[in-house]
């Protein structure tokens, strides 16, 4: 294969992985945007919509957690491409069927199935891109995957706002099926093909549990990104409640806030990815942006009479500062050998997403004994402190050769 041909193949791979994550984020955020009007239409009483929405969200989150382990292990046992094809087929079908949901039970089942399918996209894409590009340039590839992919949140907001909720689900499913056709031209990772010829044990999640060192690295990979989901899920996710506590002059729209936050995260992924390549370090870039995230949280929680415009501007800032998502997933991918790399890279971001459940429980418990602002501040201090400690414990992985296996 000529260098020009190889570059074209890698460029196509990055494009396909980016579009896959775009559809992934579209679906994840679409549900948050259209859940209230969809539940009202299928007959859920107004007083029960919030609780029912949380119930469905938990089902989707359970699907993401289950899917993270399913696709991660499959990606190491059968190949990265098997995940790229299987995951998108599953969530595309679930989305289309979700457009026909007629009651809460069918809605919940389909959100679980969609969650399982969605869990495979990012990990498989990042693993394949990381293993296919040179160690000096792979940071640019993972930067593009996450940066382009996260813009799917913007598409979800406008489609969910402009079209009927059933149509919005059909659009998501249709996009996934179109992308499935593009993936026919994608090649399997050379590192995975080489590993298949050996006798290395592949996709064994218990290898992480059996070694204290590997388990420690795995947990640290998760902890460095928990503050990101605290910001999105709590500080922005229940913005109307914070608005009241902070004497906001306007009603704060959490749906718009999420959209602006994801615009910022997309920009932040490009910025942190480029900086990690420019300065040849992953850890230092995460440290800087984690610190900026904490300062932005403090500004938000100690603000007074925040306007809607000020809030949406802050959401973009939040997004940029928490936009180390691509670098975080790349760090996780680079920490482990080829035989469990897909398992780690696919489970870690989904466990981080799932971490919102215990974080929310802690926040809710603290609200029982203190005001909402102090409860948020306490959770922020805890999650950021743990992220700092976890980051300190991880190895610098910029430029690491990934052609190795875990014994």
The pLDDT, as a whole number, for residue 15 is 87
CA distance 349 to 71: 12
- SS3 (DSSP) at 58: helix
Per-residue pLDDT, 149? 83
Structure-block tokens of residue 115: 């969650």
SS3 call for 400:
coil
User: So what's the pLDDT on residue 199?
Assistant: 67
- Alpha-carbon span 138 to 136, nearest angstrom: 6
Residue 158 makes CB contacts below 8 A (sequence gap 6+) with none
Q: What is the pLDDT of residues 146-198, one digit of tens each?
A: 888 878 888 888 898 889 999 999 999 999 998 888 877 777 777 777 776 66
DSSP code string of 315-332 = HHHHHHHT--HHHHHHHH
Q: Give the span between the Cα atoms of 185 and 183, in whole angstroms.
A: 5
Domain borders along the chain are 1-189, 226-323+355-397
Output the pTM of the full model.
0.87
What is the fold of 1-189? Growth Hormone; Chain: A; (1.20.1250)
Per-residue pLDDT of the chain (407 residues; tens, 9 = 90+): 455 556 678 888 888 888 888 988 898 888 878 888 899 999 999 888 877 887 888 888 889 999 999 999 999 998 888 888 899 899 999 999 999 998 999 999 999 999 999 898 888 888 888 888 888 888 888 888 888 887 888 888 889 888 999 999 999 999 999 888 887 777 777 777 777 666 678 888 888 888 899 999 999 999 999 999 899 988 998 888 899 999 998 988 887 898 899 889 989 989 999 999 999 999 999 999 999 999 999 999 999 888 999 999 999 999 999 999 889 999 999 999 989 999 999 999 999 988 888 898 899 899 989 999 999 999 999 999 999 999 999 999 998 988 888 87
Give the pLDDT confidence score for residue 174 in this predicted structure. 93
Contact at 8 Å (CB) between 221 and 394? yes
Residue 142, sorted as left (phi over 0), alpha (psi -120 to 50) or beta, turns out to be alpha
The alpha helices in 42-151, defined as continuous H runs, are 49-77, 80-98, 104-118, 121-132, 138-150
């Amino acid at each position: 294969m000529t260098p020009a041909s190889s570059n074209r193949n890698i460029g196509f791979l990055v494009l396909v992985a980016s579009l896959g994550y775009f559809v992934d984020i579209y679906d994840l955020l679409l549900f948050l945007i259209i859940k209230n009007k969809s539940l009202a239409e299928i007959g859920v009483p107004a007083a029960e919509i919030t609780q029912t929405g949380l119930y469905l969200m938990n089902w989707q989150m359970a699907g993401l957690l289950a899917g993270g382990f399913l696709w991660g292990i499959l990606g190491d046992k059968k190949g990265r491409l098997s995940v790229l094809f299987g995951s998108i087929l599953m969530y595309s079908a679930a989305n289309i069927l979700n457009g026909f949901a007629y009651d809460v039970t069918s809605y919940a089942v389909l959100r679980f199935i969609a969650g399982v399918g969605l869990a495979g996209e990012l990990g498989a894409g990042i693993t394949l891109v990381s293993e296919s590009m040179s160690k000096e340039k792979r940071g640019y590839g993972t930067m593009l995957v996450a940066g382009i992919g996260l813009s799917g949140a913007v598409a979800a907001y406008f489609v969910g706002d402009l079209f009927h909720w059933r149509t919005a689900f059909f659009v998501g499913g249709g996009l996934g099926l179109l992308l499935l056709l593009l993936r026919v031209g994608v090649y399997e990772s050379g590192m995975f093909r080489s590993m298949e010829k050996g006798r290395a044990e592949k996709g064994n999640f218990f290898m992480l549990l059996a070694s204290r060192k590997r388990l420690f690295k795995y947990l640290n990979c998760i902890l460095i990104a928990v503050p990101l989901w605290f910001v999105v899920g709590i500080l922005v996710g229940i913005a109307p409640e914070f608005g009241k506590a902070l004497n906001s002059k306007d009603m704060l729209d959490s749906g718009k806030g999420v959209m602006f936050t994801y615009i910022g995260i997309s920009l932040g992924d490009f910025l942190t990815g480029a900086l990690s390549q420019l300065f040849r370090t992953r850890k230092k870039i995460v440290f800087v942006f984690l610190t900026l995230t904490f300062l932005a949280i403090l500004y938000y929680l100690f603000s007074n009479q925040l306007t809607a415009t000020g809030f949406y501007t802050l959401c973009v800032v939040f997004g940029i500062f928490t936009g180390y998502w691509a670098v975080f997933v790349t760090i996780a991918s680079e920490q482990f050998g080829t035989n469990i790399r897909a398992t780690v890279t696919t489970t870690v971001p989904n466990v981080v997403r799932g971490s919102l459940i215990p974080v929310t429980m802690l926040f809710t418990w603290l609200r029982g004994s203190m005001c909402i602002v102090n409860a948020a501040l306490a959770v922020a201090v805890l999650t950021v402190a743990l992220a700092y400690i976890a980051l300190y414990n991880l190895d610098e992985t910029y430029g690491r050769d990934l052609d190795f296996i875990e014994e």
